[in-house]
Amino acid sequence: MSAADQATAPHIRLPLPDRPPVRPRAASRLRALDGLRLMAALMVCMYHFTGKNGEVATSWDQSPGVMFPTLSQLSTYGSLGVQFFFVISGFVICMSSWGRSLGDFFRSRISRLYPAYWVAIVMVTGAAVLLPVVVHPVRPDELLVNLTMMQQPLGVPRVLGVCWTLWVELKFYVLFALFVIWKGVTYKRVVTFCILWTLAGAFARVADNPLTDELVMRDHAPFFIGGLALYLIHRFGSDLLLWGIVGMSFLLGQRYSVMALWHPGEQGDFHRNPLVIQAIVFCAFAAVAVVALGWTSWANWRWLTVAGALTYPFYLIHEHLGWFFIRVLHRGLGLGSYPTLALSVLGLLGLAYLMHRFVEKPFGPKLKRALPAVPLR
| pLDDT tens, the chain, 377 aa long | 444 444 444 443 445 555 555 554 544 448 999 999 999 999 999 999 999 988 899 999 999 999 999 999 999 999 999 999 999 999 999 999 999 999 999 999 999 999 999 999 999 999 999 888 788 899 999 999 999 999 999 999 999 989 999 999 999 999 999 999 999 999 999 999 999 999 999 998 888 888 898 899 999 999 999 999 999 999 999 999 999 999 999 999 999 999 999 887 656 678 899 999 999 999 999 999 999 999 998 888 989 999 999 999 999 999 999 999 999 999 999 999 999 999 999 999 999 999 999 999 999 999 999 988 655 55
Query: Exposure of 2 by Cβ count < 10 A (0-12 exposed, 13-18 middle, 19+ buried)?
Result: exposed
Q: What is the SS3 assignment for 348-372?
A: HHHHHHHHHHHHHHHHHHHHHHHCC
What pLDDT score does 268 carry? 66
Tell me the pTM: 0.91
Q: Residue 325's pLDDT is what?
A: 95
Query: What is the pLDDT at residue 2?
Result: 42
pLDDT tens-digit series, residues 232-256:
999 999 999 999 999 999 999 999 9
Query: What pLDDT, on a 0 to 100 scale, did the predictor assign at position 299?
Result: 87
Q: Give residue 55's pLDDT.
A: 86
* Cβ–Cβ under 8 Å, residues 61 and 331: yes
Asked if 234 and 293 touch (Cβ cutoff 8 Å), the reply is: yes
For residue 18, the model assigns a pLDDT of 56
